[in-house]
Amino acid sequence: MTTNAVTVVGLQAILARHVSRLDPIRALPVGGALTFAGMAGFAVSTEVSHYVAAMVVLTLGEVLIVPSEFALLNRIAPADLRGGYFGAQTLSQLGGFAGPYFGSLILAAYGGPAMFLSIGSLAMISVAIYVFVGRRIRTPASPPTAASDAKSDPAAQTKL
Q: What is the pLDDT of residues 77-87, one digit of tens each?
A: 899 999 998 88
Q: 0.85 exceeded by the pTM?
A: no
Average pLDDT, stretch 19-31? 87
Provide the CATH number for the domain around residue 118.
Answer: 1.20.1250.20
Q: Which of 13-22, 93-102, 135-144 ranks highest by mean pLDDT?
A: 93-102
List Cβ neighbours of 115 (8 Å cut-off, separation of 6 or more): 103, 106, 107
**Residues in the chain, total:** 160
Angle at 77 between CA 75 and CA 82, to 5 degrees: 115
Domain enclosing residue 95, as ranges = 2-159
The confidence band for 141, taking pLDDT boundaries of 50, 70 and 90, is low
User: Rounded to an integer, what distance in angstroms lies between the CA atom of residue 18 and that of residue 68?
Assistant: 11
**Number of structural domains found in the chain:** 1
- Tens-digit pLDDT profile for residues 86-131: 888 888 888 888 889 999 999 999 999 999 999 999 999 999 999 9
